[in-house]
Amino acid sequence: MNQPKSGIIPEDRLGIATDLYQITMANGYFEMGKKDEIATFDLFVRKLPKNRSYLVVAGLEQCLSYLTNVNFTDEDIEFLEKKTSFKNVDKKFWDYLKNFKFTGDVWAMREGSIAFGNEPLITITAPIIEAQLIETYLLTCYNHQTKIASKASRCVDAAKGRKIIEFGMRRTDIGAATRGARAAYIGGALGTSNVMAEALFDVPSYGTHAHSWIMSFNREEDAFAAYFKVYGEETVALIDTYDTIQGAKLAAKLPGKIKGIRLDSGDLTELSKKTRDILNQNGKKETTIFASSDLNEYTIEEMLKNDAEIDIFGVGTELILSKDAPSIGGVYKLTQIKKDGKKIPKLKLSKDKSTYPGEKQVYRMYDKNGKFDKDLLAVRGEFDEQYEPLLIKVISKGKLVYDIPTIHQIREYGLSQKEKLPTEYRKTNANQNYAVEISSELEKLTGEISKKYGEDKK
Amino acid sequence: MNQPKSGIIPEDRLGIATDLYQITMANGYFEMGKKDEIATFDLFVRKLPKNRSYLVVAGLEQCLSYLTNVNFTDEDIEFLEKKTSFKNVDKKFWDYLKNFKFTGDVWAMREGSIAFGNEPLITITAPIIEAQLIETYLLTCYNHQTKIASKASRCVDAAKGRKIIEFGMRRTDIGAATRGARAAYIGGALGTSNVMAEALFDVPSYGTHAHSWIMSFNREEDAFAAYFKVYGEETVALIDTYDTIQGAKLAAKLPGKIKGIRLDSGDLTELSKKTRDILNQNGKKETTIFASSDLNEYTIEEMLKNDAEIDIFGVGTELILSKDAPSIGGVYKLTQIKKDGKKIPKLKLSKDKSTYPGEKQVYRMYDKNGKFDKDLLAVRGEFDEQYEPLLIKVISKGKLVYDIPTIHQIREYGLSQKEKLPTEYRKTNANQNYAVEISSELEKLTGEISKKYGEDKK
């Protein structure tokens, strides 16, 4: 009998975690004698999704792990050799892939950084085949984690000091869920329901019981009593299986302190007020109210406007899938080729998809109160003396030169950075663009290259 | 220096690929002496997302791999023991987890099946701790893959015989992308850009070159010529880096047959007509036109209405993220407890979240033309003699009893099933519900349990 396939990504085969055209191009570059050309690529988000004025950067650490380990196994090469489209590929290319290592330089924003449209989150300078083959994996990391960290940050702001826990594991694939929990924590969530995320990333995991616990007992009160017997003060009673008010009354009568009750259906705002009263009347003023059920930053904001008595919001589907903006559209674009020691800046002129050329830096300027004032997209080194450069060198000639922070340090850094972002950009419906200016040197370079391309075409 | 974490899911640690409350409950069941109670859970989608009238089932194979392999390693137990919430857990429970194996029975619809709201896609009967611990992973598989297979199926229908290729790898996490490519293929896509998906699942991978290939050469014509030199007839020239019409003219002048050109920006319908003419005028009538750029079933339908000359649609972001319906909301609900040999059907009465009790079967009825007529959600065995049962036994007492089909067989099965679905349910804006009737026996059972719960409360 055939064994079913797990479909879990094998960690030692990440070379083939890429789009086919990267390998097709790699062979093309190899064949055309371009393998010693040095390419620079920027990864950035062109235009932020609706209602968003900033991003919380996440995904770098997984890229660094990948860049310092990526390789092709014999199994991978055998697999590729068999593809029809590679039937004429020279054996030398397969030998090249067998010895493949990433040897380039990488500049990146720290995870937790606040970033804006058109700003490179990571910049790669490497032999063109290397820089090309790694594109897809880098995009998977940033597009996924930066999206979720940014969404979490919005939910955290909407909660105005109440807590957010990421609860969406079941709504997406296991890997996306687990890295997503990491990203949500970076974005300011208190933790996750996902145990794997705690095991792999040290993101605190939370959870008590489900409706099935309640339903497995003959009576709701028996289910609560049993849970209380096992977990005591740690109990968070899920009270909506049959009737929320009835459930609250039963939970309130448990003989001792309990950590919380949880609402999971109905009008959460109204129910939170009523159940708060029930708890208070039964000497359970310190018992917290936890709410879940298709929550997002918009509903949380609305509920708190209506004085919902909710202490912790469990945000699931909407957070892990960033449901109102399922894609942030990060792209990876060639900005320079270095050939025979000469730098040739590159750009793309496609409609609505044009790019800025050359090796760049993002500089951040502050106002007198220490708040973010504006950013400057500039030529690398242009303002190193005057302003804060956001891109720092993390890999040099293939070697890690960056001290990896803990996840807790990343989260703290992110939260502290966001405090410097003026509040108008932190609203749930913030659509105004933060000022990202183009430096005069970068404008000049862009103009020159565009003009040059125009003249070539004449 | 700390090593960066890859965040790749370790295949031998899938026991902890779950929500914390599953483990909290597992210990609770253990502690309360409920470990020999046998629970039945159904996994189903309550209400399909907007514009959808059917689902294409995908995700079973990965669940079967998981169910026949899931375990807890010593490392997992050590990790769990250290959690504060487990400080009072009896050592016997950790011993139980050390020896954990799934020993239950599983019924499921074949992958590629057409399913509707409220129909169990998979049903588990197992000791309650086992049935509970596996919930989250099963949901990750079905919620992710069934969502994407269903979205792919919509794009395939919209393309009316033209081809669809899944192109969204870079928009999500690596695991989600790869299992997503599998799901898209089951939904009828021709293949994927994702090399890992071919390596792991045998989904055909496609791809040629990106804008960076073009930009790495001084002139667009040099880039095309180089690619043609290396790949000859296999060439698909990406023609929009600078100016699509110019690009088409350059590609059309390549000295020999080429497989295709690719449009990736601008008004694709208009450009497809113009570039078709350019190709035809240059003796390249057989060269296909490939288009991409934020496509989905709605835009594909519109483009073909306007006579777009497009042969293959590359669908990326919108497909891999199912952007118009990022969640299908699959749930996993307790329907029965068997205790001391006695079956006790269970249901949940929460507002808009109620469930049907007991061990169930889905029967499909056909009209005289062999098309789907209606389904019957019934008590298991109720109509085995008259109608086609969709849930088949795939695992018996923990052992696989199902012959795993190849991915190609699954895809063929799915496409053949969809041919039997009346066309009104296959429209891009199909909002009418297919008839899923509740059998009289199931109605009776539901009424009895609801009534009983009501009486208990008096």
B398 and A CB contact within 8 Å: no
pLDDT digits (tens, 9 = 90+) for A311-331: 999 999 999 999 999 999 999
Q: Which of residues 116-135 of A touch B (CB under 8 A)?
A: 128, 132, 135
pLDDT digits (tens, 9 = 90+) for A93-122: 999 999 999 999 999 999 999 999 999 999
Mean pLDDT of A220-246: 96
Report the mean per-residue pLDDT for chain A: 96
Query: How big is chain A by its Cα radius of gyration, in Å?
Result: 26
A451: left (phi over 0), alpha (psi -120 to 50) or beta: alpha
Between chains, do B6 and A69 touch, taking CB under 8 Å as contact? yes
Residues B458, B456: Cα–Cα separation, whole Å: 6
Most B CBs within 10 Å, among A64, A89, A170, A407, to test the B interface: A170
Among residues B171, B400, B200, B97, the alpha carbon closest in space to that of A172 is found at: B171
Task: Name the strands in the sheet holding A163-166, side by side, starting at the edge strand that comes first in the sequence.
Answer: A191-192, A163-166, A312-315, A288-291, A260-263, A236-238
Is the pLDDT at B350 greater than 50? The verdict is: yes
CA distance A367 to chain B (A): 35
- Is the pLDDT confidence value at A455 over 60? no
Share of chain A above pLDDT 70, in %: 98
Which residue of B9, B236, B339 to mutate against A (max A Cβ within 10 Å)?
Answer: B9
Q: Inter-chain contact B65–A19, Cβ cutoff 8 Å?
A: no
In contact, B260 and B231? CB cutoff 8 Å: no
Chain A contact set for B265 (CB, 8 A): 350-353
Residue A158: per-residue pLDDT: 98
Identify the closest residue of chain A to B179 by CA–CA distance: A7
Report how far residue B264's alpha carbon sits from residue B93's, in angstroms, rounded to the nearest whole number.
Answer: 57
| Cα separation, B377 vs B379, whole angstroms | 7
| pLDDT(A458) > 50 | no
pLDDT class for B146, splitting at 50, 70, 90? very high
CA of A195 to nearest chain B CA: how many angstroms apart? 5
Q: Taking 80 as the threshold, does the pLDDT of residue B348 lie above it?
A: no
| Mean pLDDT of all residues belonging to chain B | 96
The per-residue pLDDT for range B30-49, each reduced to its tens digit, is 999 999 999 999 999 999 99
Interface test mutation site (partner A, options B29, B190, B212, B343, max chain A beta carbons within 10 A): B212
pLDDT for A350 equals 66
| Residue B458: pLDDT over 60 | no
- Nearest alpha-carbon partner for A242 in A230, A232, A251: A251
pLDDT at B454: 66
Cα dihedral B35, B39, B43, B46 sign: negative
Nearest C-alpha in B relative to A321 = B326
Tens digits of per-residue pLDDT, A259-314?
Answer: 999 999 999 999 999 999 999 999 999 999 999 999 999 999 999 999 999 999 99
- Cβ–Cβ under 8 Å, residues A330 and A118: no
What's the whole-number mean pLDDT along residues A375-379? 97
Mean pLDDT of A155-172: 98
CA triple B419-B421-B425, angle to 5 deg: 125
Interface contact A196, partner B, CB < 8 A? yes
User: Which alpha helices (H) appear in A86-235, and where do they start and end?
Assistant: 91-98, 128-133, 135-158, 174-186, 195-201, 211-215, 220-231
What pLDDT score was predicted for residue A209? 95
* Alpha-carbon span B187 to B149, nearest angstrom: 4
User: B80-84, long-range: CB within 8 Å, 24+ apart, which pairs?
Assistant: B80/A195, B80/B16, B80/B23, B83/A198, B83/A205
Q: What is the pLDDT of residue B456?
A: 55
Taken in order of first residue, the domains within chain B and their CATH numbers are 11-146+327-457 (3.20.140.10), 149-320 (3.20.20.70)
Give me the helix-helix angle, A297-305 and A135-158, nearest 10°: 10
ipTM over 0.90: yes
Does residue A290 sit at the B interface (CB-CB below 8 Å)?
no
Window 211-240 of B, Cβ < 8 Å to A: 211-213, 215-216, 219, 226-227, 229-232, 234, 240
Residue of B nearest to A4 (CA): B65
Interchain CB contact of B327 with A (< 8 Å): yes
Is the pLDDT score of A358 beyond 60? Answer: yes
Pick B17's closest partner by Cβ from A18, A137, A174: A174
Q: What percent of chain B has pLDDT over 90?
A: 93
Which residue in chain B is spatially nearest to A35 when comparing CA positions? B216
Is A31 in CB contact (< 8 Å) with chain B? yes
Q: Tens of pLDDT along A14-53?
A: 999 999 999 999 999 999 999 999 999 999 999 999 999 9
Asked if A450 reaches chain B (Cβ–Cβ under 8 Å), the answer is no
The pLDDT tens digits of the residues spanning B377-409 come to 999 999 999 999 999 999 999 999 999 999 999
* For range A406-428, the mean pLDDT: 97
Q: What are phi and psi of B363, to 5 degrees?
A: -110, 140
